[in-house]
Structure 1
Amino acid sequence: MSSIHFFEKGEGQPLVLIHGFCETSRMWTDFAEKLAKDFRVICPDLPGIGDSPISGEQISLEEVAVILEEWMDANEIHQPIVIGHSLGGYVTLALLELMGSRLKAVGLFHSSSYADSPDKKATRNKAILFLKKHGVDKFVSSFVPPLFPEGSSEEFKEEIAWAIEDGKRSTLSGLIAFTGAMRGRKERLDVLRDFSGPKLLIAGTEDGAVKIEASRKQKDVFTHYFELQGVGHMGMVEKREETLELIREFALSSTKH
């Protein structure tokens, strides 16, 4: 039996929502409540995050995909629509490479099919050193606020505080492991291009983590592409209702595919 912890709401077409880095499945609570009217919404904690265990400080996205495939089989999650935020999008693409047409549709939410640049890999290395020296709480407290647009800290004060507390539910091993997994991931643009099902990308024009230029560069491989004006890396918080409807409409149209 899979050790993946998750919650689910609703019934019908499975819709799997995968959280990002320094996040847990709880980030999707509001979305799950609203989307459960139309779908069986399932939100897992990735290994080492929230209530899902991990052994050691190393894991690859390919290994995560195998774990999630086994978890889906064990819980009779068949032909799911899978949408991932940031790291969750990288996991979604690894799942797509593994499962192919066994996924009905995929969505990337502030994410990318490209590999890390050399500069980004260097930043990941520094993050691992910081984590090992200072621990989870200090890392998360410094990592989360810049995910929101510059100058928006007062507007989203409560949301940032909540996101920091949620991120602190990650284990040290989990954060180190996934920092390394993101650093080592390969480009999966061809995986996306070869998939014949519906494909969604939601991008923020002020996203500091996934630059809008990178999103625009790969937009042609998606069947559904949306830019959120003035939005950073946290569209599900910054533009909650708008992004909720984008996901609902994409998922509804995908069930007819």
Structure 2
Amino acid sequence: MPWYEDSRGERLRYREQGQGPALVLIHGWCMSSAVWSLQLDRLSARFRVIAPDLRGHGDSPVGSGECRLETFCSDIIDLFRYLDLNGAILAGWSQGAQVAVRAVPLLQERLSGLVLICGTPLFTSAADFPHGLAPAEAQGMALKVRRNLKRALEGFVARMFVPGELAASGREEEIRALLDAVPVPETAVALQSLASLAEADLRKQLAAIDRPTLVISGEHDPICPSAASAFMAKRIPAGRHVTYAGCGHAPFLTRCDGFNAGLADFSREVRGAYV
């Protein structure tokens, strides 16, 4: 895995495979670039697929910045500048979708499109946003992390899939091996990034996104409900919502072939207008 240098002069890791239009994939909370293995392997024949390890995740060190949304966003912008990416598709999953939304205003001239996968503009529910988790649930996640991070992550991963989804994918062993390969971050990293996820409210930023946006959700996602994706798609001027029936929080794993084909179709559709 190569390194790139951020604006602080610190080095962070990323994966890169293939040639062609750039497709940048941002992982979610306590994950790493390893979760995109099925995209790196299968889309690299047509795309330059780039998947960074966010600060404190995977093989990227924590460095001098806190592992929060603002720092992750700054690091992604530095990645684009370091690699001089233009006309790229930026795709973020779960917390990575929040990073992508936050980064768009500073990357607009370098983007041809945006893909938000099982994300939400507001992780916890509010009086005017019923599409999130109960605040007590987010607090419970933090308590589990403090008690035993490894066990908390095992429970989180198990919750990503609805009953029978992994078996029906035909790739259960491959997906489990892929997720087992994700390094466990430090507890402080997990807590910082979880707090940032729970505190962020990106609803007002959606209307300012001026690139074609594909919003993807799992029909039965228990972490970032499909209704949150529908909310985003309605408020992004060029937003489109696609739901994967029978899926939970990671359709890019269990519906890999359809997901990859949809991503390729979206890229072909939008990139010509902005490259």
TM-score (norm 1): 0.89
Does residue 171 in structure 1 map to residue 200 in structure 2?
no
Question: 1:205·1:232 contact (CA, 8 Å) conserved in 2?
Answer: yes
2: CA distance between counterparts of 1:125 and 1:248? 38
Closer, same or farther in 2 for the Cα pair 1:101/1:194, shift >3 Å?
farther
Equivalent positions of 1:1-257 (< 5 A) are 1-2=5-6, 3-55=11-63, 58-117=66-125, 120-135=134-149, 137-152=150-165, 155=168, 157-158=172-173, 161-162=176-177, 164-188=179-203, 190-220=204-234, 221=236, 222-257=238-273
Q: Post-superposition shift, 1:35?
A: 1.5
Assess, with a 3 A threshold, how the Cα gap between structure 1 residues 12 and 125 changes in structure 2: closer, same or farther: same
Equivalent residues, number: 255
Q: Which moves more between the two structures, 227-236 or 67-76? A: 67-76
Change (3 A) 1:59 1:122: farther
Match of 2:210, SS state, is coil
Name which of structure 1's ranges 40-49 and 214-223 shifts more when overlaid on structure 2.
214-223
Q: Which runs of 5+ in 1 are unaligned?
A: none
CA distance in 2, matches of 1:153, 1:71: 33
User: Judging changes above 3 Å, is the alpha-carbon distance between structure 1 residues 41 and 153 closer, same or farther for their aligned structure 2 residues?
Assistant: closer
**Paired letter, 1:72:** F
CA–CA separation in structure 1 for the residues paired with 2:192 and 2:174: 26
1:102-123 deviations in whole A, cap 9, x for unaligned? 3221110111233532554432
Alpha-carbon distance between aligned partners in 1 of 2:25 and 2:62, rounded to the nearest angstrom: 20
The ranges of structure 1 where at least 4 consecutive aligned residues each deviate by more than 6 angstroms after the TM superposition are: none
CA separation in 2, counterparts of 1:164 and 1:7? 16
Q: Deviations over 1:157-189 (max 9, x none)?
A: 53563354234433323212210110111224x
SS at match of 1:4: strand
Structure 1 CA distance, aligned partners of 2:167 and 2:269?
A: 37
Alpha-carbon displacement from aligned partner over 1:110-168 (angstroms, at most 9, x marks no partner): 11233532554432332222222213x21111111111013446556535633542344
Contact 1:48–1:171 under 8 Å retained in 2: yes
The 3-state SS of whatever aligns with 2:58 is coil
Shift in alpha-carbon separation, 1:139–1:246, aligned structure 2, 3 A: same
